[in-house]
Amino acid sequence: MSQQAQYDSQAINQMDKDHHLHPWQIFDVFREEGALAIARGEGCYIYDTDGKRYFDSVGGLWCNNIGLGRKEMAEAIAAQAYEMSYASPFVDLTNVPAAKLAAKLAELAPGPLNHVFFTCGGSTAVDTAFRMIHYYQNCRGKHEKKHIISRMNSYHGSTYAAMSIGGKPGDHPPEFEYISDTIHHLSYPNYYRCAADGQSETEFVDALVKEFEDKIAELGADKVAAFFAEPIMGAGGVIVAPEGYLKRMYEVCKQNDILFVADEVVTAFGRLGHWFASESEFGIVPDMITSAKGLTSGYQPLGALLFSDEIWDVLNEEDSGRCFAHGFTYSGHPVACAAALKNIEILEKEKLLENVMEVGPYFEQQLKTLEDLPIVGQVRGRKFMVCVEYVANKETKALFPEEQDIGKRVSNHADELGLITRAIVHLNVMSPPLTMSKADVDFVVSTLRK
């Protein structure tokens, strides 16, 4: 397979090294190693500029839900670009795909989430939620209700507000500045790492809920505006909270007039076998849902904030003179919205959510067999959102020293064997395309075992 022989890999790498600053670039490493240049994709596979094939178990970056290289996606995007590539979304104009997509999302989203604000991706959806929360509370006359609560190790994006809401210590180095006076981080629900000796899952959840209640009491319920949570924490290490946690946190929000924002940038559009995981997987109907990634399967950049009738009614109050002064040049971009509509059509037509329901449990079960290996501490996750945690000592759960970069070493070795996984310190994370078959699962698990 050497259709790619036309590429001069060395020259591409040099251009990239000299001029392209990557997200999360570790300068000393990048200077030496550069990045693997990918030239082509098809289904679950990507090909580098030398033509080598890899199974991409990461689905790009949790986003490639329908698989790469789809002709019908390219055609839908081209047709929309030809028909009408751009019109301003500001108030007096709209476009056909944006209107249709907003209606489609309202149909797919849980009950009262019937309103959509389009953004450029996940971070801008979180920023939009942040600004809408302030606006909403001010419109209700609750001018003091501005504090935001989220969790340690959460990831909500990379804009100023989104990064401040996120709680990954590694993302908060002192060289950056963050909003710290009105944003607070609770403990995160990692039972494997954070439970006290002998503490049951129920006791663990009780303690987390109590911490939340105590924080609200300390700040005053009249000062807490919203709680942000990923239904399953992604970049923070694929943390599935023990049974009941999310529901109880949600109930605390309801009791205290606190908005529950489910960050479903990763979990929506089928990754857990549902359009949205909050209601179908965890039994809660949030006030807001942020989404992106699987919305277009990465064929176009697009995010969407979905919000409830209750919030809409406040914003939309007659004769209030209100204007939600917020938006982006590319809000509701017609080509991106056309890509999302086609993507949703493919997810429906090919029953890919059903595939996740069928193959997901097999993936979890097969991956779990790796727990018999001496360096595997825990395999966790749900359906098409999983991770392997490596430990130096299974008994004590002691981690390998950071300089040994265990996750990266395993993923580099897997690269050589034709499998892409994502290394996050002592983890390998996977979120494959929803088209993955049981035979693909066997390849992924046997390769990781090697």
Binding site for ligand PLP (CB under 6 A): 121-123, 126, 155-157, 230, 234-235, 263, 265-266, 292
Of 123 and 137, nearer to ligand PLP (C-beta) is 123
Residue 378 tokens, joined: 């825990």
DSSP result, 237-251: T-BPPPTTHHHHHHH
Report, in Å, the least distance between residue 246 CB and ligand PLP: 14
Residues 6+ apart with CB under 8 A from 438: 359, 362
Q: DSSP 3-state assignment of 202?
A: helix
Q: Please, what is the minimum distance in Å from the beta carbon of residue 162 to ligand PLP? A: 6
Tell me the C-alpha to C-alpha distance, in Å, between residue 264 and each of 37, 66, 269, 278, 390.
Answer: 29, 17, 9, 8, 26
Q: In the complex with ligand PLP, which residue's Cβ is closer, 102 or 126? A: 126
Q: Between 70 and 156, name the residue whose CB sits nearer to ligand PLP.
A: 156
Shortest separation between residue 156's beta carbon and ligand PLP, angstroms: 5
Cβ closest to ligand PLP, residue 116 vs residue 376: 116
Pair 428, 407: CB distance under 8 Å: yes
In the complex, minimum distance from the CB of residue 196 to ligand PLP, in angstroms, rounded to a whole number:
28
In the structure encoding, which two tokens stand for residue 249, read together? Answer: 């946190």
Interacting residues of 81 by C-beta distance below 8 A, sequence separation 6+: 335
What is the phi-psi region of residue 67: left when phi exceeds 0, alpha when psi lies from -120 to 50, beta otherwise? left
> Would you call 134 exposed, middle or buried from its count of C-beta atoms within 10 A (0-12, 13-18, 19+)?
middle
Helices (runs of H) and strands (runs of E) counted in the chain: 16, 15
The least distance separating ligand PLP from the CB of residue 332, rounded to whole angstroms, comes to 16
What minimum distance in Å lies between the beta carbon of 56 and ligand PLP? 16
- Are 58 and 430 within 8 A, CB to CB? yes
Which CB, 230 or 389, lies closer to ligand PLP?
Answer: 230
Q: Which is nearer to ligand PLP, 366 or 428 (CB)?
A: 428
Based on CB atoms, which residue is closest to ligand PLP, 154 or 411?
154
| Closest distance of CB 190 from ligand PLP, Å | 16
